[in-house]
Structure formats: C-alpha cells, structure tokens
Amino acid sequence: MRRATLAVPAALALFAVTACGAPSENASAPSDEADTLVVGATAVPAGDILAFVQEELAADAGLHLEIQEFSDYIAPNSALAEGQLDVNLYQHEPFLLEFNEGNGTDLVAVEQIYLPPLGLYSNRVDTLDDLEEGAEVALPNDPTNEFRALLLLEEGGLITLADGIDEATFSLNDIEDNPLDLDFREVEAAQLPRSLDDVDAAIVNNNYAQEAGLDFEEDSILLEEVEGNAYVNVLAARSDNADDPRVATLVELLTSPETVRFIEEEYQGSVIPATDG
C-alpha cells in the first residue's frame, strides 16, 4: 500500500460538542495542595502523556497533577477560562487563538509539546489513486480543522483552493478545482471515525483516530508531514497564571528526555514530540 506524506502550512484548530469532563483515574491524592495543578486533556494522547508524567516524574519534581479528561474540544478551554482548570493540553495554537476570538477569553500557549498528524483514512480504498470520481469524503466541521483538512487535500493533489483564503474566511466554495468531483460531508470531529463505514474516506484528528484504533500506517492514505507543521499541540494557560512556577515545572517534565522517550516508544511515530528532550 502506498501512503502519501505531506507538509501542511499554518492555521489550526478544533471544535464543539457536549462537555464530558471527569477526573482521571490516574490522579492520586495530592500531597500538597499548593503544588497541585489541575490539568484538562483529551484521553489520547494528552491524557496518557500526562499520566506518565504524574506516575513517573512529578513527585520527584515536587508537583502533583489532577488530570481531568474531556471528550470534546470546547469544554477544556471553557473550563480553563473559568478557572476550573489551571492548564490544558490537547490543542494547537491556531485553535486556541480562534477560541479566544470567538469567546472573549485570554488563553495563551505556554509551550509546544507534541504533534498529532492529521490524516485521511479509509476503510474502502488503499491509496489516493483508488478514490473514484464522486467519492464522498468526510471533513471535520469546525472551521480551523476543516481548513486544515482542505490544505491536506490540496497538498495531496485532490483539490485546488483559491488564492489568499484563510481559516477565518474560507468556505467550501473556495475550492477552485475538484477534478474527481469529490463530495464533501461535514461531520463533528469526534464522529469522524464512525463515519468511515458510510463514506469513501474521512479526515480524522489524531486523538480520535487513536481512540478508534485506526493505524496511521495501515489505515491512512494521506498524512501530514512533521517538518514545518503549524499544528503542534501546546500546553495552554490563562494569561494570569502562565508564569506560575508550577506551570514551568510541568513544561520541564513534558519536554524532558524521559517524556520524549515515552512518546516515541508509545506512539511509534503517530505522535511526534516537539522537542528532542
């Protein structure tokens, strides 16, 4: 099977659904409340990475993490803005900036942590060349991820976008050339893996692909390339607590050689550390 790997420009994002936050079972009782950070995350890979940090590194650094997991992309930012969380880990900076603009919040990216490459997956075809005229392709329905998805399709040679468009103003009408006359279906991001039985291909965010058991090598027919990618996920905080020493300690642990090694061994290239440790 042939898989295309591509570079994707800058922009970014994620979307809305019902909040589903719950304390992680990985969080144990804090030894010192003053040194506890409440961290929001999606389960995979952010929740797994944070659990590793909590179990293997945090105690020696004098830090305790209370990890709360969410099933959507809006609730973790809302909870952070409202002070229910101290930081969160699950999104790239373009999505964070779009959330700020739409909600009047002042969340900030503290540090880049890892890249979860966006991919085009299919249960029906093995390569891009196998896509037939009129094939139905599902896209994430939030603006930033949908724009990112269209950029991926353009890099794959499946469509051509109009010059000068960006994630703030684009629409599907900005597709200037669609040689296969692909039919696009906009789907809530968390539902995209389930849509694979109903469409010819779907662009799925990495965390939902992993939760659904999709293999980035076996099941994807197009993947983002790491180099030059603008969609690296960040540890986010509020502007009023971004300089908290506990946040700085968490950054050190998340970018440590031990955590970098965990990400590389656990995800085998489907999640890429933003630093070499």
**Confidence grade of residue 264 (pLDDT, cut at 50, 70, 90):** very high
The residues near 26 (Cβ < 8 Å, ≥ 6 apart) are: 47, 50, 51, 54, 55, 67
- Tell me the per-residue pLDDT of 174-184, one tens digit each, with 9 for 90 and over: 999 999 999 99
Say if residue 262 is in the same domain as residue 205.
no
Structure-derived torsion over alpha carbons of residues 163, 169, 170, 171, reported in degrees to the nearest 10 = -140
Distance between CA 148 and CA 150 in Å, rounded?
5
The CATH number of the domain where 218 resides is what?
Answer: 3.40.190.10
Q: What is the pLDDT of residue 97?
A: 94
As a whole number, mean pLDDT of residues 60-76 equals 96
Q: What is the pLDDT of residue 2?
A: 37
**Confidence grade of residue 168 (pLDDT, cut at 50, 70, 90):** confident
Over pLDDT 70: what percentage of the chain?
87
Last residue of a domain, one of 186, 202, 224: 224
Say if residue 123 is in the same domain as residue 217.
yes
Tell me, yes or no, whether 9 lies in a domain.
Answer: no
**Confidence grade of residue 215 (pLDDT, cut at 50, 70, 90):** confident
Distance between CA 264 and CA 214 in Å, rounded?
18
- 233 near 90, Cβ under 8 Å? yes
Range of the domain at 203: 118-224
Say if residue 102 is in the same domain as residue 122.
no
Tell me, yes or no, whether 51 lies in a domain.
Answer: yes
- Tell me the per-residue pLDDT of 12-46, one tens digit each, with 9 for 90 and over: 333 333 333 443 444 434 444 558 999 999 999 99
Q: What is the pLDDT of residue 20?
A: 37
Say if residue 43 is in the same domain as residue 70.
yes
Tell me, yes or no, whether 66 lies in a domain.
Answer: yes
Say if residue 50 is in the same domain as residue 105.
yes
Out of 4-13, 101-110, 112-121, which region has the weakest mean confidence (pLDDT)?
4-13
Does residue 97 come out as left (phi exceeding 0), alpha (psi in the -120 to 50 range) or beta? alpha
Say if residue 123 is in the same domain as residue 210.
yes
Summary mean pLDDT of the chain: 88
Distance between CA 241 and CA 229 in Å, rounded?
28
As a whole number, mean pLDDT of residues 234-249 equals 98
Say if residue 91 is in the same domain as residue 46.
yes
As a whole number, mean pLDDT of residues 141-153 equals 93
Residue 269 has pLDDT above 50, yes or no: yes
Say if residue 110 is in the same domain as residue 247.
yes
Q: What is the pLDDT of residue 102?
A: 94
Distance between CA 275 and CA 207 in Å, rounded?
19
- Other CB atoms within 10 Å distance of the CB of residue 107: 23
Tell me, yes or no, whether 198 lies in a domain.
Answer: yes
Q: What is the pLDDT of residue 35?
A: 87
